[in-house]
Amino acid sequence: MKLRSSPPSPFGRKVKLAMAILGLKDRIEVVDTNTADPSDSLRSQNPLGKIPALIQENGEVLYDSAVILEYLDFLAGGNKLFPAGEARFAVLRDQTLADGIMDAAILRVYEKRFKDQKYRDPAWDSYQAGKIERGLAHFEENTPAAPATVSDVDAGTLTLACALGYLDMRFGGSWRQDHTKLVAWLDSFEAAVPAFADTKQPSAPVPDNANAPLQ
| Domain containing residue 146: CATH number | 1.20.1050.10
Same domain? For 122 and 143 the reply is: yes
Residues 40 and 110 in one domain: no
- Return the CATH number at 70: 3.40.30.10
> Same domain, yes or no, for 190 and 91?
yes
8 Å CB contact between 11 and 64? yes
Domain count, the chain: 2
Q: According to the model, what pLDDT value does residue 118 have?
A: 86
Is the same domain home to 177 and 91?
A: yes
- Does 203 map to a domain? no
Per-residue CA distances from 179 to 33, 176, 186, 206 (Å): 33, 5, 11, 21
The pTM of the full predicted model, rounded to 2 decimals, is 0.94
Position 211 in a domain: no
Euclidean distance between CA atoms 14 and 12, whole angstroms? 5
CB-based contacts of 90: which residues, under 8 Å, 6+ apart?
156
Phi, psi (5° rounding) for residue 3?
-105, 115
Among residues 19, 15, 51, the alpha carbon closest in space to that of 159 is found at 15
Q: Is there a domain that residue 171 lies in? A: yes
204 in any annotated domain: no
Is 205 part of any domain? no
- Among 179, 182, 163, 160, residue whose Cα is nearest residue 171: 163
The rounded distance, in Å, linking the Cα atoms of 154 and 95 is 9
- Flag whether 213 is in a domain: no
User: Are 57 and 91 contained in the same domain?
Assistant: no
CA angle 128, 133, 137 (to 5 degrees): 150
pLDDT in tens, the chain (215 residues): 999 999 999 999 999 999 999 999 999 999 999 888 888 999 999 999 999 999 999 999 999 999 999 999 999 999 999 999 999 999 999 999 999 999 999 999 988 888 888 888 999 999 999 999 999 999 999 999 999 999 999 999 999 999 999 999 999 999 999 999 999 999 999 999 999 999 998 887 665 554 555 56
Domain housing 151: 87-198
Answer yes or no: do 69 and 95 share one domain. Answer: no
